[in-house]
Amino acid sequence: MIHAGIDVGSLWTKAVVLKDGAVAGWSVRPTGDSAREAADEALRDALAPLAATPGDLGGAVVATGAGKRAAQAARETAAEIMCAARGAAFLRPGARGVLDMGGESTRVVRLDEKGEILDYALNDKCAAGTGVFLDAMGAVMGVPVDRMGPLSLESDADVNITSMCVAFAESEVVSQVHRQTPKKDILRGLHKSIATRIAGMASRVGLTEGCVAVGGLALNSGIVWWLEEMLRARLVVPENPQIVPALGAALIAAGRGERG
Amino acid sequence: MRANYGYADGSGEYFITVDTDACDGCGDCARACPKGIFEIAPDDYDEPKARVKDEHAKTLGAVCPGWHAACAAHTGPNCHTACARSAIAHSW
Amino acid sequence: MITLGVDIGSLTGKALILKDNEILAWDMTLTGPDSVETGTAVTNGALAKAGLELEDMDLVVSTGYGRIVIPFAHKNVSEITCHAKGANWFFPSARTILDMGGQDCKAIRCDAAGKVTDFAMNDKCAAGAGRSMGIMAELVGVPLADLGGLSLQAQGAGVPISSVCVVFARSEVLAYLRGGVSKGDILAGACEALASRVRGLLKRVGTAPDFVISGGIAKNVGVVRRLEESLGMKASICFEPQIVGALGAAIFGRELLAKRAAAAAGKGAAR
């Protein structure tokens, strides 16, 4: 039996296909101007390894993310928090928390030992601490986003970026660049600023050891490092963390299917 | 004078209010705060008063858990229990 | 008695010379990467206009963004105190002051003497500061100076911008532009969004007449008009809203000198 989950984010669309309860295919593509198209294409790409088409799914598709209603193949939708929790618990049974750090939103979820949601915090109203922050700074500094984390870890200087706000941080970065501050030092300060925002949410919800970090920002080693410093706890970063909510959606599709 | 330190952004309003008429500059709040948010500094009339440090005013929502019920859940005293003049209040 | 007030903001630096109770001269410049250089340059500008030297100043008071270190200042005073004093000088009946620059917004309540009784400042979020107007002007493609006026050309209240965050609001605005919404309508929505951030800050300190607006935002007729309507108070704006801080610093200096003179005279009499 195959099931699929589609996570239509503001910036990126992810799809995961499960066959008999195991991941059989997945894909990531930019959402761009048409969430509907992105969802379709992502699903097709994720089905490709099985040589299957959306028709073969028989509607066993659940969509999540900011653009969940644009996914035509999905008959049902699920909340992002549910999907992040399900996906994390599947990959790491017994995990007591999930940090879902996405392009334009951040979710922090506390779980019990069975993976049920106890508490959560959500920020989708302020760009501080989200992927947009990183993208904007990368553009200002001329550094590719996937290099930002590793570069930031090469620094041990204390360049303070005092703003969490994207717009103000941009100005601070511009003046640091003018002052010829080394890029890795500026990056270190930026990553600290992002992590401060996220760690604040995490400590309010009360996350402890062994939380799972998912979402696109979990790919950034600099952010993960700062978060571990500020939370004083290790984080678990699964392979391909950005598809974990989509995986959770697929699991929900499988669960609902079994219940008939 | 009621001094409101903090900010409002898309995610909410985070202000710590210090009543400087009540404050006597004793410094207990600065010592009690686990995050070191407060400092005692001379105001414009050269009297020592409690204030939120500049670098923390912009990250209040992320650094301070807010109303003392949340802070008291952590260990020990906090700015509310420490201040004998009830000069400190939180908006969240 | 001649005092000099220097106000270094995030976007502009101002210097003002007060002789007894009259503004002798003032100067304004863009803030460069070095605030001390900016302070020196703008001070020299004001001195030149007054035909005076720095030594002629009885006291120099500095204020501005962060703990500014101007080496030739005798005292550094908070921007809040200075804006209240400056507003009170222009409008003795001022009791509520809104000051907004590029990177911050201050709501101040003061008494009849211009002493601060309540204040709130937001310098964390660009949505509540002049920066948001700069971002909108660039997005829509109009000069910042024209933004306010254009916003008043809208049919009604303009279009709603639901995101508080200016970064998220970008995509809303781009969608409106693609959809052919008029610039006036979009800018009306932007001014309304900023006005609503300001109302939140003003609510925190409470409002009472008379209402004064200072800082760059006072030149944005779109935001000013909307605030006046919702507060039910006319906004008093002086001839150059951006010098209120520097003026207040110079006044603070004058009052400080007077206090010291009175204290010295008192000691003399006691002997």
Please give the residue of chain A at the shortest CA–CA distance from C135: A167
Statement to judge: residues C106 and C141 lie in one domain: yes
CA–CA dist A112, C250 (Å, integer) = 61
Contact A200 B62 (CB under 8 A): yes
Statement to judge: residues C67 and C141 lie in one domain: no
The correct CATH number of B2-90 out of 3.40.1000, 3.40.1700, 3.30.1380, 3.30.70 is 3.30.70
Q: What pLDDT digit, counting tens, does each position of B63-81 carry?
A: 888 876 667 666 667 898 8
Residues 167-186 of C with CB under 8 A from A: 167-168
What pLDDT, on the 0 to 100 scale, is given for residue A60?
A: 87
pLDDT band at A260 (very low <50, low <70, confident <90, very high): very low
CA–CA dist A69, A63 (Å, integer) = 7
Nearest to A42 by CA among A69, A72, A76: A72
State the sign of the Cα–Cα–Cα–Cα dihedral C216, C221, C225, C226.
Answer: negative
Domain range for residue C69? 2-86+242-270
What pLDDT, on the 0 to 100 scale, is given for residue B70?
A: 66
Q: Where are the alpha helices (DSSP H) in B25-65?
A: 28-32, 54-57, 60-63
Q: Nearest C-alpha of chain B: how many angstroms from A162?
A: 7
DSSP code at position C11 = S
What pLDDT, on the 0 to 100 scale, is given for residue A259?
A: 42
For residues C47 and A59, the model is more confident at C47
Q: Nearest C-alpha of chain B: how many angstroms from A125?
A: 5
User: How many CB atoms neighbour CB A21 within 10 A?
Assistant: 12
DSSP code at position A128 = T
Give the strands of the sheet with A76-77, arranged side by side.
Answer: A22-30, A12-19, A2-8, A61-64, A76-77
Chains in touch with C (3+ beta-carbon pairs under 8 Å) read: A, B
Statement to judge: residues C102 and C123 lie in one domain: yes
Statement to judge: residues C195 and C220 lie in one domain: yes
Residues of chain C found within 8 Å of residue A167, distances taken between Cβ atoms: 126, 131-132, 135, 166-167
For residues A191 and B76, the model is more confident at A191
Average pLDDT, chain B: 89
Q: Is A166 on the interface with B (CB under 8 A)?
A: no
Statement to judge: residues C175 and C117 lie in one domain: yes
Superfamily name and number for A93-237: ATPase, nucleotide binding domain (3.30.420.40)
What are the sequence ranges of the domains in chain B?
Answer: 2-90
Q: Is B17 on the interface with A (CB under 8 A)?
A: no
What pLDDT, on the 0 to 100 scale, is given for residue B78?
A: 86
Q: What pLDDT digit, counting tens, does each position of A240-249 carry?
A: 999 999 999 9
* Three-state secondary structure call for residue A196: helix
What's the whole-number mean pLDDT along residues A85-95? 94
Statement to judge: residues C37 and C133 lie in one domain: no
Nearest to C103 by CA among C78, C128, C68: C128
pLDDT tens over chain C, length 271 residues: 999 999 998 888 999 999 999 999 999 999 888 889 999 999 999 999 999 999 999 999 999 876 677 899 999 999 999 999 999 999 999 999 999 988 899 999 999 999 999 999 998 999 999 999 999 999 999 999 999 999 999 877 799 999 999 999 998 999 999 999 999 999 999 999 999 999 999 999 999 999 999 999 999 999 999 999 999 999 999 999 999 999 999 999 999 999 999 988 887 665 5
Answer whether residue A258 shows pLDDT above 50.
Answer: no
> CB of A4 within 8 A of CB of A46?
yes
C225 in the Ramachandran plot: left (φ > 0), alpha (ψ -120 to 50) or beta?
alpha
What are the sequence ranges of the domains in chain A?
Answer: 2-79+243-258, 93-237
Statement to judge: residues C99 and C137 lie in one domain: yes
Contact B9 A126 (CB under 8 A): yes
The pTM score is: 0.89
Cβ neighbours for A260, distance < 8 A, ≥ 6 positions apart: none
pLDDT band at A210 (very low <50, low <70, confident <90, very high): confident
Cβ neighbours for C106, distance < 8 A, ≥ 6 positions apart: C79, C80, C83, C97, C98, C99, C100, C119, C120, C121
Whole-Å CA distances, C135 to A110, B10, B72, C160: 37, 17, 41, 17
- As given in the structure block, the two tokens for residue A33 are 């101007």
Question: Taking an 8 Å Cβ-Cβ cutoff, which residues of chain B contact chain C?
Answer: 1-10, 13, 15, 43-44, 54, 57-59, 91
- ∠ Cα C176 C180 C186 (to 5°): 45
Answer whether residue B58 shows pLDDT above 60.
Answer: yes
Contact A166 C103 (CB under 8 A): no
CATH number for the domain whose boundaries are A2-79+243-258: 3.30.420.40
Helix C183-205 vs helix C221-231: angle between axes, to the nearest 10 degrees?
50
Question: Taking an 8 Å Cβ-Cβ cutoff, which residues of chain C contact chain B?
Answer: 66-67, 77-78, 81, 116-125, 127-128, 163-165, 168, 197, 200-201, 204-205, 252
Contact C205 B4 (CB under 8 A): yes
Statement to judge: residues C40 and C121 lie in one domain: no
CA–CA dist A23, A3 (Å, integer) = 10
- ∠ Cα A66 A79 A208 (to 5°): 105
- Interface pTM, i.e. ipTM: 0.91
- ∠ Cα C96 C97 C103 (to 5°): 145
pLDDT band at A179 (very low <50, low <70, confident <90, very high): confident
Q: Is A197 on the interface with B (CB under 8 A)?
A: yes
Residues of chain C found within 8 Å of residue B15, distances taken between Cβ atoms: 120, 204
CA–CA dist A162, A159 (Å, integer) = 9
Residues of chain A found within 8 Å of residue B55, distances taken between Cβ atoms: 160, 162
The CATH code of the domain that includes C37 is 3.30.420.40
- ∠ Cα A156 C103 A197 (to 5°): 45
CA–CA dist A83, A89 (Å, integer) = 10
The total domain count for chain C is 2
Of the candidates C33, C126, C168, the beta carbon closest to that of A165 is on: C126
Nearest to C43 by CA among C18, C71, C15: C15
Statement to judge: residues C183 and C247 lie in one domain: no
pLDDT band at A159 (very low <50, low <70, confident <90, very high): confident
What pLDDT, on the 0 to 100 scale, is given for residue B26?
A: 96
